[in-house]
Amino acid sequence: MQGLVTVFGGSGFIGAQVVRALAKRGYRVRVAVRRPGLAYKMRMLGDVGQIEVVQANVRAPASVARALEGAQACVNLVGVLYEAGRQKFQSLHAMGAHNIAEAAAAAGVASLVQVSAIGADASSPAKYARTKALGEAEARKAFPGAVILRPSIVFGPGDHFFNRFGQMAALSPVLPLIGGGETLFQPVFVGDVASAVAACVADPSTAGKTYELGGPATYSFKALMQLMLQVIGRHPFLAPIPFPLAKLIGTVGDAVAAVSPFPPPLTADQVELLKVDNVVAKGALGLGDLGISPTAVEVVIPAYLFRYRKGGQYAEALASGA
C-alpha cells in the first residue's frame, strides 16, 4: 500500500469519488471532515483499514495540522455554493485554503491539490468566484507547487445540478431560465474529476500547474434543461427570467439561507455567476493532458435521473402495460 493522502472535505459529492479513486490506486486515505460521525460510510470505499475519518475544521489551523500528520499528499475539496451561518466564502475558500497550504508546507507534505472552479476571478462581481481565486492565490503563496484544478459544473449521482432541476421539474409546471438560459457550460463527470485529482497526486510533473476540467461538449443552460427533461419525460414550461428579476429572487434566497437549514433555490451571488460562461479557456491544460478521456453527459444522467420520471424506476414497465 502506498503513502497517506489527507483529503479535506472528502465526504461530499466530489470527495467520495476522490477517496474511492485514491483508494483504488493503493493510497491510504485520511478523510478530514467537520463531523466525522456523519462520514462513517467513507471507510467502505476501500479495503479494511485503508481509509480513516478524522475531525478537522479548515477554520481551525490546529485541527488542520493534526489531520496532516504523516501525510505524503493533501487534497483540498472544501467549498460551499452559498453562504449560511458560519460557512462563509471568505473563511472556507480563501482562509481555509491558506490554512491547509501553510500546514501542508510546514508538515513537509510532498504534493497539494487545490480544487477550485472555472470562473475563479479576483475581479469577479460574484463573491464565490472572487474567493475561489483568493483560495488559489493563498495555496500557491504558501505552497508554490500546489496543483490547481478548475472544474466546470460537475455531474453524476448525487450532483447538485441535474438532481436539483429534476426535482423541480417533477414538482413544478415551470422551470426558470435565468438570463434566458444562454449561459454556456461544459459539464464534467464527477468520476473524471476524481481521476484527475488522483493523477495529480501520483504525478510530480503536475506540480505548480493549473488544469481546467470540462466535458467533451459545451451546452447552453437551456440545452441542458431540455436534455434533462427529455431523460425524465417531463414537460414544464421553460420560462426566461431576465437577470434583474433573477437578482431580486436571489436576494430573497439570501434571506432564506440566513434563517433556514434548507438550500435556497437561488442566491444573488449565483445570478452573478450565471452572467459569465463556464467553459474551459482556450489553450488551458485539461483532462486530456492528464490522460483522461472526458465522459459525455448523455451517457451518465439516465442512470440516476430515472427517479424523476413518472413511475420512477418502473416508468418503462408502466408505459408498456407490463
pLDDT tens digits for range 217-276: 999 999 999 999 999 999 999 999 999 999 999 999 999 888 888 888 899 999 999 999
3-state secondary structure 234-256: CCCEEEEECHHHHHHHHHHHHHH
All residues at 6 or more sequence positions from 195 whose CB lies less than 8 Å from its CB, including other chains: 21, 290, 292
Write down the pLDDT at residue 154. Answer: 98
3-state secondary structure of 107: coil
All residues at 6 or more sequence positions from 49 whose CB lies less than 8 Å from its CB, including other chains: none
What is the overall mean pLDDT for the chain?
94
Query: What confidence tier does 319 reach under pLDDT thresholds 50, 70, 90?
Result: low
Write down the pLDDT at residue 212. Answer: 98
pLDDT at 313 over 80: no
Write down the pLDDT at residue 316. Answer: 60
- pLDDT tens per residue across span 53-93: 999 999 999 999 999 999 999 999 999 998 988 889 999 99
All residues at 6 or more sequence positions from 146 whose CB lies less than 8 Å from its CB, including other chains: 101, 112, 113, 114, 139, 140, 207, 208
Q: What percent of the chain clears pLDDT 90, i.e. is strictly above it?
A: 85
Across residues 28-48, what is the average pLDDT? Answer: 91
All residues at 6 or more sequence positions from 141 whose CB lies less than 8 Å from its CB, including other chains: 98, 101
- The single-letter code of the amino acid at 12 is G
Q: Which residue has the higher pLDDT, 310 or 177?
A: 177
Domains of the chain in sequence order: 4-155+187-214+280-293 (3.40.50.720)
3-state secondary structure of 16: helix
pLDDT at 312 over 80: no
Q: How far apart are CA 70 and CA 4, in angstroms?
A: 7
Write down the pLDDT at residue 37. Answer: 85
Across residues 126-138, what is the average pLDDT? Answer: 97
Across residues 11-33, what is the average pLDDT? Answer: 96
